[in-house]
Structure 1
Amino acid sequence: MIDHEFFISNFMNKKKEKIIQFARVDPNYTSGRPRLIFDGETVVSGKAYPYLASYTPAANDRVMLVKGVVVGKIV
């Protein structure tokens, strides 16, 4: 039987990395990998982020990232 301590210790994010993040696509975005404005920030990121092939970025889209990859638009 698995107790709660085993479960928590094995599924905690020990590195404290941001697994899931939310952001908005740069309002000046036109093509390529989009730069983002992350929740709580006001400045566009210096990095352009990869995205899944099933998503087509558009300026001002509200998006969700999983481990640094845009997985889609939040509607």
Structure 2
Amino acid sequence: MIRLIAFIVLLIPGLIAAWGIKLMRDTLFGILYSPIPFGWLQFLVGFIMMAAGIGFFAGFLLRRDRRKGRVQERFKQK
């Protein structure tokens, strides 16, 4: 059960990051979605979504590896 919860916790930010990448790609091809009026704004929203999703995923993995002692000295907390 715990593995399923961890999978869901990682799936949601992964989907958000994928949607952000899709928004940025669609902006480059000139496809705008109705709630966002400008291309640059759509690209910015996509970039923020991608960065937040990848950042959450990376932070989750770093925290897990710190607890298990699998990180280098420079990543260990003081």
Q: TM-score, normalised by structure 1?
A: 0.25
Larger radius of gyration: 2
Q: Return the structure number with greater strand share.
A: 1
Q: Which of the pair has the greater relative contact order for Cα pairs under 8 Å at 6+ separation? A: 2
